[in-house]
Structure 1
Amino acid sequence: MLLLCLMQVKHMFADFFLQTPKMLSGRGEYLHSGRAQHAGVHTLGSILVFVLMGAPVLFILITCVLEWIVHFNIDYCKARYSDSKKLTPQQAAFWRAAGTDQALHQLTYIAMAAAWLKYAT
């Protein structure tokens, strides 16, 4: 539970407090450096969480590289979908896309916690 709580706090800061204008603009293009940086902020936060939890270095490296790849692609898919539909916050579909994006990130943390239980404890 502590691991998941720490991941929630990390996610809140990385997704809602630490995004820069560069991270938020142009997200519909695949090779977007701002999205790469945003996924990197998440990865650095996860590294910190796993270090605090005493996970082995190799586990941290593999898990956090995978998280970066998954996070980058989840955000890309949401951006492409939102751009293709020209969604705005005034539309319900915008919030469904945002909710799906957030749910996929949360499921990623559950998978990371399951991997931690299986391989790192």
Structure 2
Amino acid sequence: MTAALQTALVLIALLLVKHLFADFLFQTQRMLSGRDEYVHVGRAQHAAIHGAFSFGVFVVLGAPLVFSLVICLAETVLHYHIDWAKGRHAARCQHSPTDAGYWRAFGFDQFLHQLTYVAMVWAWAFYTL
């Protein structure tokens, strides 16, 4: 296995661990309320935590600082909008955790976040190798 492939796999693993903490363990009530509002301080804080933690992951693995900053700012903006779209959908549909629609939306939201990490690793490989 090449060093680049090993680093890519470690990068994906660290981004997934980061996701667990930022998306589930570090959520506050402010971040969870008002999910359907477009301008929302709590969602901005939540997305910023994602971007900051991802920045740490890229820097620890030796990615260039400018690249790390740009890719993580893009992730922050994308994460904000994915979560807003899910919140808006949930408000319109009035789904609760007992409804299948809630879990479909939750699963699609998580799928989009995971695709974001695949794109980030692809960008890392394209621009830094």
For this structure pair, what is the TM-score category when the shorter chain's length is used for normalisation? over 0.9
CA distance in structure 1 between the aligned counterparts of 2:80 and 2:26, rounded to whole angstroms? 16
Q: Distance in 2 between matches of 1:71 and 1:98?
A: 14
Query: Which of 79, 103, 114 is the equivalent residue of 2:111?
Result: 103
Instruction: Quote the Cα distance in structure 1 between the aligned partners of 2:128 and 2:49.
Output: 22
Residue-pair matches, total: 121
Q: Over residues 5-63 of structure 1, what are the superposed CA-to-partner deviations in whole Å (9 max), with x where a residue is unaligned?
A: 00000000001100000000001000000000000010111011001110001101110
- 1:63 corresponds, among 71, 76, 95, to 71
1:28 maps to which of 36, 39, 42: 36
Partners of 1:120 and 1:56 in 2: how far apart?
A: 8
Q: 1:94 aligns with which of 94, 98, 102?
A: 102
2:110 equivalent to 1:117: no
Question: Equivalents in 1 of 2:128, 2:108: separation in Å?
Answer: 29
What value does the CA root-mean-square deviation take over the aligned residues? 0.5
Structure 2 stretches of 5 or more lacking a match? 1-8
2:22 is the counterpart of 1:14? yes
Displaced runs of 4 or more, over 3 A: none
Q: What's the counterpart of residue 45 of structure 1? A: 53
Question: For 2:57, what is the secondary structure of its paired residue?
Answer: helix
Secondary structure of the corresponding residue to residue 97 of structure 2: coil
Structure 1 gaps, min length 5? none
